[in-house]
Amino acid sequence: MLSRLVFVSGIVVHASRCLHTSSQSLAPVPPLPEKGGKVRHGFIPEELFQLLYPKTGVTGPYMLGAGLLLYMLSKEIYVINHETFAAASIGAVIIYGVKKFGPSVGAFADKLNEEKVAKAQEVKDVAMSSLVQATEDEKKEQWRVEGRAMLFDAKRNNVAMLLETNYRERLHMVTNEVKRRLDYQIALQDLNRRLEQEHMINWVEKSVISSITPQQEKESIAKCITDLKVLAKATQAKATA
Amino acid sequence: MAGRRAALKAIDWTAFAERVPPNQRTMFNNLKTRSDAIAAKLTSLPEKPPAIDWSYYRSVVAKAGMVDEFEKKFSALKVPEPVDTQTAIINAQEEEANKTATAYIEASKARIAQYEKQLEKFKNMIAFDQMTIEDLNDTFPETKLDKEKHPYWPHKPIADL
């Protein structure tokens, strides 16, 4: 019965939560509001108080409530029996439990949800950053590929250098060979000349020695001895003087 | 001497080195050492051999006419240039490399387009705390629970929980 009251007041006042009257879907569906409708004392919606405020002021709804309660009790529309006390005790325990442990349980449930969302968010962030990185890498690879001409330039340079080196070596070889041949001729000439000279000298010596007769030999030896004597006297005289 | 001295292009080895990917670095180093060795050998050889002093030889060598004959034959001699067999091959290689390079760049561009598309999808996604399960299944089809294959809760193999 009270839920019907809430329902009615919901339609009247909450115009922002629209009914699905047309077949078109209003996507994205607006999210549910964070908190439920405001209530006083846990189950009486605030809208009732607002409704009655212009006519009866602040105490109006309370008087209405108290009056209704007294009316139901006195006319025995609601009969007090043993169920009343059971309901009262159970209600007391429930209210105590919810007031004590409600916030912490709510926080725990919220934390679970937060973790799920955070995990999903992290996955999304990692995916996005990896995609950005992959794009960067692809661009870098394209830049690298652009340098392929340099490789072939280097290769052609190498080939040209080798050819040039080979050609120069050939030139050098030709010159050196010609020089060697000419130097050989010169050396050959020198050798011939030297051999002739030596042979001539030997021959002259031999003929001179063979032409010395024994008579001449004795005369030359005697002359040498007299010369030596004269020299000895001269040196003796020099030594004593 | 037209074919000789094909102009040596100056190669910027540092810029070249930057473009080499790390997995080909050893090949690049080998190429560089070989090129440097060849260049060093080239610079060590003088361009022209020293000229032969014909007058000296003419005065020293006794045999008449020998030096003159040598001189005549020497100046008439034409050293043949070495034949270039490799440049054509290198040019063909370059053509092929250009073709593969363009193909690779095309594939790379396709990949980049793919990445961009996925990035756009991520950027235009609604925030996770605004999503319903249907929205999640639309954005990430892999999260959709296959209710035909596994009709009973939790709609996936127990091992995947």
**Residue B138: count of CB within 10 angstroms of its CB:** 12
- Cα→Cα distances B130→A30, A38, A116, B63, B127, Å: 8, 23, 13, 112, 5
Any A CB within 8 A of B31 CB: yes
- In a 3-state reduction of DSSP, which class is residue A44? strand
Degrees, nearest 5: CA angle B13-B18-B21: 120
Q: H/E element holding A137?
A: helix A82-146
- Per-residue pLDDT of chain B in tens (161 residues, 90 and over written 9): 334 565 677 788 888 888 888 888 898 899 889 989 988 988 888 888 888 888 888 888 777 778 888 888 888 888 888 888 888 888 898 899 899 999 999 999 999 999 999 999 988 888 888 788 888 888 888 888 888 888 888 888 888 77
* pLDDT of the residue at B79: 82
**Which chain B residues touch A179 with a CB distance below 8 Å?**
52
* pLDDT of the residue at A6: 43
Mean pLDDT, residues A139-155 taken together: 86
Angle between helices A148-211 and B25-44 (to 10 degrees): 40
- Closest CA–CA distance from residue B97 to any residue of chain A (Å): 8
The answer to whether the CB of A153 falls within 8 A of the CB of B30 is no
Short-list B15, B2, B8, CA closest to B35: B8
* pLDDT of the residue at A80: 93
Of the two residues A128 and B50, the one the predictor is more confident about is A128
Short-list A18, A37, A168, A58, CA closest to B4: A168
Any A CB within 8 A of B22 CB: no
- Closest CA–CA distance from residue B150 to any residue of chain A (Å): 24
**Which chain B residues touch A134 with a CB distance below 8 Å?**
111, 115
- Cα→Cα distances A172→A98, A168, A240, B9, B48, Å: 108, 6, 75, 26, 8
Beta carbons within 8 Å of B76's beta carbon, 6+ residues apart: none
- Quick one: pLDDT band at residue A202, thresholds 50, 70, 90? very high
Model confidence pLDDT, tens digit, residues A87-125: 999 999 999 999 999 999 999 999 999 998 899 899 999
- Closest CA–CA distance from residue A165 to any residue of chain B (Å): 5
**Which chain B residues touch A156 with a CB distance below 8 Å?**
6, 9, 87, 90
Model confidence pLDDT, tens digit, residues A205-231: 999 888 877 778 888 899 999 999 999
Q: What is the pTM of this model?
A: 0.60
- Quick one: pLDDT band at residue A194, thresholds 50, 70, 90? very high
Cα A61 to Cα A48: distance, rounded to the nearest angstrom: 7
The answer to whether the CB of A61 falls within 8 A of the CB of A52 is yes
Cα A180 to Cα A173: distance, rounded to the nearest angstrom: 10
Model confidence pLDDT, tens digit, residues A8-48: 444 444 444 556 666 666 666 677 788 888 888 888 999 99
Any A CB within 8 A of B134 CB: no
- In a 3-state reduction of DSSP, which class is residue B97? helix
Look up the ipTM and state it.
0.74
